[in-house]
Amino acid sequence: MAKKNIEEQIIKAAATIFVKKGMDGARMQEIAAEAGINQALLHYYFRSKEKLFDAVFSEIINNFLKSVFSSISEKDNFKEFLYDFIVSYSQNITEHAELTKFILWEFQRGGKLMIKSLREAQLNGDSAPDFIIRKIEQAKKEGVIRPIDAQNFLLTLLSTVLYPFIARPIFENIFQIPDMTDAAFIDKRNQEVFDLLWSGIKQN
Amino acid sequence: MAKKNIEEQIIKAAATIFVKKGMDGARMQEIAAEAGINQALLHYYFRSKEKLFDAVFSEIINNFLKSVFSSISEKDNFKEFLYDFIVSYSQNITEHAELTKFILWEFQRGGKLMIKSLREAQLNGDSAPDFIIRKIEQAKKEGVIRPIDAQNFLLTLLSTVLYPFIARPIFENIFQIPDMTDAAFIDKRNQEVFDLLWSGIKQN
DNA sequence: TAAAATTTTAACTGATTGATTAAATATCAA
DNA sequence: TTGATATTTAATCAATCAGTTAAAATTTTA
């Protein structure tokens, strides 16, 4: 079997275990068993547990961000852009199962990997956050939305869409939501978030 | 030294280590050193690492929620209530240092402790979330705000205030914010969040 | 004051764990 | 076809770690 396949098999198995248990809680023997290989191979291919962990996280976060940025709307109309962003961002989140658990581990590690990836991601020559901030500034300039702090708005936008998924067990239990990844719930949620944010910023 | 003092000393030391490293990453010897005691005492007082962990997190989350709920505004005017909630909630978050890291660990554990504490916290006979939802429904009924989904709004409200603190390293880096717990930043943020949310729901 | 109970300590135990190793097997290159 | 290289394996190692123990010290109780 080609080397490449073994590495991918390891990364997939490691992702499953690391997502669930974190680096400290995961066991190399368990990862090996999940991958169907001998434990020594983990060290042969990745040298150490920590290097394996980094490799796994790099791949997951890069895949996610790549997917997010490739689906960012290119519409000039800001209202439509905002709506499309909310829909595609939450769709990306639900499609990348377990991503939110990765995010939790990454936050505990200080977020360096995520920061690096966010900075490197480019949209029309801008970093992704700058691209969106530029859109917001443009909409202000055109009088489409009222004068808001663009950074603050983006902070709110990202928080509002992502955080419910991160805190999913809490919210599902407290609000008795059967399944927050259910399409009907997400559609309604996206619409409510859009209505709230758009109403909150549109020029009257 | 009284037994009570030793237990408190242990819990304080354990909190420091557990918040930083999680249960799997923390070492009992390190906790003992931090508390200035013999490691065997940890087991004498708390039986096991996991029981110690539970005791520590119970105390942290209960202290936080108690503080949050005791400072929830009692104003009848919904606009004022909303503003006060935003301010006091974010103030509670910044006052309880390390809380956000605790939240990360708790999410990874499924959030059971947080759920339990949220359900048990009572405000005027309601659970805390229900109390706020009732306020929102009342404001709708009075025509103060437009017909929104109360649960969804509360989801957004909690997400918008809390999440930036959870993802603080990411946001400080990406947006080049020197210190998100700086009073000036928080004041501005609270005002922007309030303006956005209020504009988003007020009846025109 | 002495016995009982509780607390504390240094030393230790057994299990676990990431990493390593020697050897076998498979693949590749000359 | 043979030697070199890469891959794989079972067994092993040394360090780590939560938890335990016997004994000493301290506190409490009668």
Superfamily of domain A59-201: Tetracycline Repressor, domain 2 (1.10.357.10)
Tell whether the model's pLDDT for residue B200 goes beyond 60: yes
CB atoms within 10 A of CB B169: 17
Q: Among 1.10.3660.10, 1.10.10.60, 1.10.20.60, 1.10.3470.10, what is the CATH number of B1-47? A: 1.10.10.60
Residue predicted with more confidence, B27 or A72: B27
The CATH number, out of the four listed (1.10.357.10, 3.40.50.2300, 1.10.240.10, 3.40.190.10), of the domain defined by the range B58-201:
1.10.357.10
From A91-95, B98-102, B194-198, the region with the lowest mean pLDDT: B98-102
pLDDT band for position B3 (cuts 50, 70, 90): low
Distance between CA atoms of B10 and B55, rounded to whole angstroms?
10
Q: What is the reported pLDDT for B2? A: 53
Average pLDDT of chain A, as a whole number: 90
Place of tokens 């030793």: B6
- Tell me which residue of A97, A74, A100, A99 sits closest to A85, measured CA to CA: A74
CA distance A18 to A25: 8
The neighbour count for residue B37, using CB atoms within 10 Å, is: 17
Q: Pick out the nucleotide with least CA–C1' distance to A37.
A: D8
What is the maximum alpha-carbon separation in chain A? 65
Alpha helices by DSSP H, B26-141: 28-35, 39-46, 49-70, 78-95, 99-108, 112-120, 128-141
Mean pLDDT, range B73-80, rounded to an integer: 88
Residue type, A127: S
Note whether B77 and B97 are within 8 A (CB).
no
Question: A143 φ, ψ to 5°?
Answer: 75, 15
Q: Determine the average pLDDT of the residues in A100-112.
A: 86
Tell which residue, B138, B136, B143, B141, has the closest CA to residue B197: B136
CA B126, distance to chain mean position in Å, is 19
Residue A1 clears pLDDT 50, i.e. is over it: no
Residue B143 tokens read as 């025509």
Cα–Cα dist B7/A44, whole Å: 46
Tell me how crowded residue A48 is: count the other CB atoms within 10 A of its CB. Answer: 11
pLDDT at residue B184 is higher than 90: yes
| CATH topology match: A1-47 vs A59-201 | no
The contacts of residue B202 (CB under 8 Å, 6+ apart) are B79, B144, B145, B146
What tokens does B196 get? 């956005």
CA A50-A52-A54 angle, 5° bins: 70
Average pLDDT over residues A4-27: 92
* A-B Cβ pairs (cutoff 8 Å, strict): 145
What is the distance in angstroms measured between the alpha-carbon CA of B102 and the sugar C1' of C6? Answer: 34
State how far the Cα of B94 lies from the Cα of B180, in Å rounded to an integer.
Answer: 9
Mean pLDDT score, B25-41: 96
Residues 64-123 of A with CB under 8 A from B: 101, 104-105, 107-108, 110-112, 114-115, 118-119
pLDDT in tens, A107-155: 888 888 888 888 887 777 788 888 999 999 999 999 999 999 999 999 9
Question: How many CA within 13 A on the CB side of residue A160?
Answer: 27
User: SS3 for A124?
Assistant: coil
Q: How far is CA A122 from CA A72, A113, A127, in A?
A: 12, 16, 5
Is the per-residue pLDDT at A12 higher than 60? yes
The pLDDT value given to residue A132: 92
Q: Is the CB of B41 under 7 A from strand C?
A: yes
pLDDT in tens, A49-78: 999 999 998 889 888 888 888 888 888 899
Judged by DSSP in three states, B108 sits in helix
Q: Is B184 on the interface with A (CB under 8 A)?
A: no
Average pLDDT value for residue range B70-84? 90
Question: Reduced to 3 states, what is the DSSP secondary structure of residue B193?
Answer: helix
- Among A154, A170, A185, A198, the strongest candidate for a mutation testing the B interface, having the largest count of B CBs within 10 A, is A170
| Pick from A41, A109, A156: nearest CA to B104 | A109
Structure tokens at B104: 């990360």
pLDDT > 90: percent of chain A: 64
- pLDDT (mean) for A2-14: 86
The domain ranges of chain B are 1-47, 58-201
Q: Average the pLDDT over A187-199 and give the result.
A: 96
Contacts of A22 in chain B (CB under 8 A): 22, 24-25, 108
* Residue A54 Cβ < 7 Å to strand C: no
pLDDT tens digits, B136-165: 999 999 999 999 999 999 999 999 999 999
What token pair was written down for B90? 């974010």
| ipTM for the predicted complex | 0.86
Report yes or no: B62 and B127 within 8 Å, Cβ to Cβ: no
Confirm or reject contact between A129 and chain B (CB < 8 A).
Answer: yes
Instruction: Establish how many alpha carbons lie within 13 A of residue A77's alpha carbon, considering only the half-sphere containing its beta carbon.
Output: 5
- pLDDT (tens digit per residue) in B78-135: 999 999 999 999 999 998 877 888 888 888 888 888 888 888 877 777 788 889 999 9
Which residue from B148, B47, B24, B59 is spatially nearest to A26, judged by alpha carbons? Answer: B24
